[in-house]
Structure 1
């Protein structure tokens, strides 16, 4: 492997750890993206104002190697609960990663531990937060933001 390839792989692997600090609670899902996913799709976070045509966007963009991006907003309406913000961000990021993986045949993210070959987990709002659960059995797996800890 050339030095240039090693450098690119190292930079891509580091992207998983370069999250905004402090991480806004509505961005908890970013903690659920394992380093191999960051690397495989060349995911990176870009400040909201860095995308041409969106100078007033308050938040971040999650971009992949194709140049596609999903906006992670911080400027939600005041009447939107934190749970709703977390769920909306989780659904957007989940769809984005699934679409990015579709070309390689790996669109099952995050995989359901009980049924890893048939469907991804689904995010659902519950009393104490937003959880990842099996869409078939409704079994709760982890809070959004704590999937890699479970």
Structure 2
């Protein structure tokens, strides 16, 4: 797996594994573009989706993009009423958080208030707050 993809994927997979389910990463470079290294994520139910980074983007944008892609896979995999991942601490029954860059850091943010709740990669830890 390309180093840039690994760097962007590792923290968000930590969040997923700590809070909801384990995704398996298959080193499958499905993209034909040398500027877009890719892999495949497989959920326990067998469903899967591709994930990739765009190398010309800055590292922070890559991390936010990959967090967004993984979130989509998790929401589809857990489905039903539990599809609110990651849970927004301000609105736990309304919507999940979204990945955004905040002050140079990839964070999980409440989409309604814009309040950062945790760095991507720190969900489930005691130091989740920025």
From 18, 40, 47, the equivalent of 1:68 is: 47
Greater relative contact order, per chain length (Cα 8 Å cut-off, separation 6+): 2
Q: Which runs of 5+ in 1 are unaligned?
A: 1-22
Root mean square deviation, CA, Å: 2.5
Question: C-alpha distance in 1, partners of 2:75/2:94?
Answer: 13
Q: Which runs of 5+ in 2 are unaligned?
A: none
From 112, 126, 132, the equivalent of 2:88 is: 112
TM-score normalized by the length of structure 1 = 0.67
Q: Deviations over 1:61-120 (max 9, x none)?
A: 21124433222336x33x211011101101111111111222x32110000112111110
Question: C-alpha distance in 1, partners of 2:71/2:19?
Answer: 15
Q: Identify the residue that residue 8 of structure 2 maps to in structure 1.
A: 26
Return the offset for 1:55. 8.9
Q: Deviations over 1:22-71 (max 9, x none)?
A: x93211211111456225xxx3222225xxxx497944321124433222
**Rg (Cα) greater in structure:** 1
TM-score normalized by the length of structure 2 = 0.76
